[in-house]
Structure 1
Amino acid sequence: MLNNNKRLLSAAPYLLLTSMFLTGCGSDSDNNSTTNNPDNTAANRNVNAMMINRVDNETGFLVAVDTNNDKDISNTNGIELAGPGSGLFSHNKKIYLTEGRDGDKVYQYRYENNQFIKENELFTGANVRPGSMTFVNNDKAYLTTYQTGELLALNLKDLTITKRIDLSSYALGDNDKNPEPSGGVMRDGKLYLALSQIDNFSSYNCQGGASLLIIDATTDQVEHHLQDNRTCSSGILEPNKGLILHSSGDIYVPNPAGYGYYGHKSGYLRIKAGATEFDPDYFFSISDLTIDGVPGKSASYPYKSLFDSNSNLLYVNLFIPGLTSNPPDYVNDKNYVLFKADLANKTLTKIDIPNTAGWSADMIMQDGKILAGRLATSGQGLFWYDPGSGTNVADQSPAITSQGSPFAIVNY
């Protein structure tokens, strides 16, 4: 295992809050099952989503949600988290928690009879810091790491590491050994893995241009390293749902480009279906857009998003500098605005939904509708938006309130 310990302090919203959020002890460490039922009179809840609620700087919970019937999500009997901003993933009716920058463990749960039942627990190694998961199939997944410049191949049956893939040779900085793998997507048996390539976890400046690896998921061998100097900081460097696979087979890669601090141009690059290089004729620059309806008519970078494969539209939160305090208040500023983007045609439309803090901006899709977690002035919880309504107007107050702000949400 490599020992490349970059400093863990951040400028971006989630990255900043990880140093001050959810540091209490985890109650799930000693018990393999935990009851969760927000409404104890609802014996037949149809749980179809999982969510992490951030309560305060030290406390967060994993809770189950029935999006069709719940009105308020209690943290009572949820799983108290040991680390801030844990990664939350779901696959094949299993729930996965990664401890991110605040721990080195991964947990596997199932939810049954109003209980979280822990099936497996993995210690990834000292100071590895597991991040995002990309599922290859029901038996295998890849797991990014923040601190060691590795990609871990996992056996999902028993949650064990089958291979540690050393990525240190792909780091672009001088004397750097960690290219910061951020998130990926599977296409044609290959993992397309974005690399953030930052200088350190304090300043988040780019070490080089956009960077991505193509890895054969059968052999776990790196086949190609893509690079492009038009933008940088590929992928979202926090637990995330991965890159964007369009129905055309094209892959779109978000690039926050130093999170707005250094004048780099943020935006999306494309790898066309069948191609193994970034498309030289495509760059959707977010930095260069003139955006009506927001202060300053500009956005700095793309952040948490959700891709609708039926409409091929991306719902993405953009950071709006004109909504930011001076100095920035990363806890209270509501400076992330939701947009609908047609990436193929480079168009952007603002959705009328309350603005949120960046660390409470995750989304899922259910039955053709968007369910968005928001920490808004009108309340904290889950807001519905129906693209089929023919309007760009969403809920203005939460349809489901939460005891804490929604940090992450997945379908289950």
Structure 2
Amino acid sequence: MNLFKKNNTRSLSLSKGLVAVTMSSALMLAACGDDSSSSGTAPESNSDNAKKYGLAFMTDKSMLVGTGSLSEKQGDLVKDFIEASNSGGITYSDGSLYLISVDEAMTSTLSRYELDEEGNLPEKPAATTKFEGTGAMMVKFADKNKLYVNQTFANSIVAVDAKTLKTTATIDLSEYLEDGAQMIGPGSSVIRDGKLFLSMGQLVDAQSMIGGPQASVAVIDVKTDKVEKVINSSLVSAVGVYDDMNNTMSFVDEDGDIYFYAPAAMGWMEGYEEGWIRIKKGETEFDKDWVFHLHDAAYDGEKSNENYLMTGGTYLGKGKFLGFFGHFADPSNFYAYEWSFVVIDLKKKTVEKIPGLAPTIPWFAPSIHLDTDGTAFIGHADEKSGAIYRYDVESGKLTKEMDVSTGTAYYIVPLIEYTCDLCGKPEVVKK
């Protein structure tokens, strides 16, 4: 059976990072101007603005990376930022900002920059390492001493010393390749109970990053870096694919339940089911009695919809996930402004659009990040302008934090230690 839809005349390349290598010029035809009239609420000051964040802005040629306060003028701030390839991302841990970037040959460079006491980024990294031709895009911290790096085109992930960036172990996943899959594309992951739950794309079309027709997750012991088992679910298609550096297609809620999302190749594959599935607290198998197909939820006045979650999102607590929702109305046009920011309630099984933000391009989605007070940042861009907003799900308040005149906001990362996997609101780690 040919799983591809008959009317699809264009191959699908949806991974944010890999697409950015070849599509960045086209994307930034819609780059933000200096117009501050972006849709949303009027600018308001925020008492937390003096705090610095790790920031990354995507331009047509590069990604500008540095640190700064959201109260600063963005166009001036980025003049002192470093440049990296416009495929990659940043994260923070233990006083250092980590940058991973991928070039056109799919060689990835991981760098660690030690911040000074004022949170400033130095010109040169304290450590750096390369992964030749593997398309490594995502990292996951096990703790402040160890992180995992996903090897997109190498059927493996590697454990890396967080300080030296030297590889300490390689976890080969090739023996778990399913029939019909060309390779395993490791995607988003979470850590719970000392185990890494790693999504495996089981890519049936590696060039287009299309995963298999069922969910596949490896359960790995973090201490030994050994695969304990692989679990599957037929309730949805491949989970965790098209994800970015921040592991947004999976999370652990405050009850200890793990959730994975399956984007179902954004509708390009016949018979693929999208939706959220879960692994309950204390379990290492998928819950056979629970699934939330977002297509079944009422959205924007319709009882059914054909939308999907694009990469980029964050769990806000109390069952609510802030994500980026839409579909390709015209399969030949990847740059239409038709995707919206939404709050998904996994307990009530509802999807609601955030008011005040105009639709935008799907490739701008990774700019959703959680702050330490439980509010979320949204990097937004439309045909006229761009900005960073703060959204408080409890009050529904949307506040503009920064006008963006150079490139598009991609990463807004708090420079503070907090646990990511067992939190509704982040819990600050005492040093």
CA distance in 1, matches of 2:213, 2:172: 19
In 2 relative to 1, CA 227–77 (structure 1 residues): closer, same or farther, beyond 3 Å?
same
What is residue 256 of structure 1 aligned with on the other side? 263
What is residue 185 of structure 2 aligned with on the other side? 180
Does the CA contact (< 8 Å) of 2:243 and 2:311 recur in 1? Answer: no
Alignment of 1:126-205 (within 5 A): 126-174=132-180, 176=182, 178-205=183-210
Return the letter of the residue paired with 1:99.
Answer: S
Does the CA contact (< 8 Å) of 1:85 and 1:407 recur in 2? Answer: no
CA distance in 1, matches of 2:234, 2:240: 15
CA distance in 1, matches of 2:302, 2:96: 40
SS of 1:19's partner is helix
Alignment of 1:220-231 (within 5 A): 220-231=225-236
Runs of 4+ more than 6 Å apart: none
What is residue 281 of structure 2 aligned with on the other side? 273
SS of 1:11's partner is coil
Structure with more relative contact order (C-alpha pairs < 8 Å, separation 6 or more): 2
Alignment of 1:300-311 (within 5 A): 300-309=308-317, 311=318
Return the letter of the residue paired with 1:134.
Answer: K
CA distance in 2, matches of 1:297, 1:17: 28
Which digits, 9 at most, give the CA deviation of each residue in 1:150-192, with x for residues without a partner?
110011121110011100011214373x211012111011101
In 2 relative to 1, CA 175–185 (structure 1 residues): closer, same or farther, beyond 3 Å?
closer
Q: TM-score, normalised by structure 1?
A: 0.82
- Per-residue deviation at 1:63? 2.8
- 2:58 is aligned, of 54, 61, 81, to 54
SS of 1:76's partner is helix
2:382 pairs with 1:376: yes
CA distance in 2, matches of 1:345, 1:295: 15
In 2 relative to 1, CA 281–402 (structure 1 residues): closer, same or farther, beyond 3 Å?
farther
Does the CA contact (< 8 Å) of 2:152 and 2:184 recur in 1? Answer: no
Matched residue count = 369
- 1:349 is aligned, of 330, 341, 352, to 352
CA distance in 1, matches of 2:91, 2:370: 15
Q: Which runs of 5+ in 2 are unaligned?
A: 1-10, 26-48, 416-431
In 2 relative to 1, CA 104–370 (structure 1 residues): closer, same or farther, beyond 3 Å?
closer
CA distance in 1, matches of 2:94, 2:287: 34
What is residue 87 of structure 1 aligned with on the other side? 89
- Per-residue deviation at 1:297? 4.3
CA distance in 2, matches of 1:296, 1:282: 19
CA distance in 1, matches of 2:52, 2:308: 34
- 1:16 is aligned, of 10, 14, 19, to 19
SS of 2:308's partner is coil
- Per-residue deviation at 1:383? 1.5
| Aligned Cα root-mean-square deviation (Å) | 2.5
Does the CA contact (< 8 Å) of 2:58 and 2:64 recur in 1? Answer: yes
- Per-residue deviation at 1:273? 0.4
Return the letter of the residue paired with 2:386.
Answer: Q
CA distance in 1, matches of 2:211, 2:126: 39
CA distance in 2, matches of 1:159, 1:385: 35
What is residue 338 of structure 2 aligned with on the other side? 335
SS of 2:125's partner is strand
CA distance in 2, matches of 1:17, 1:212: 26
- Per-residue deviation at 1:199? 1.6
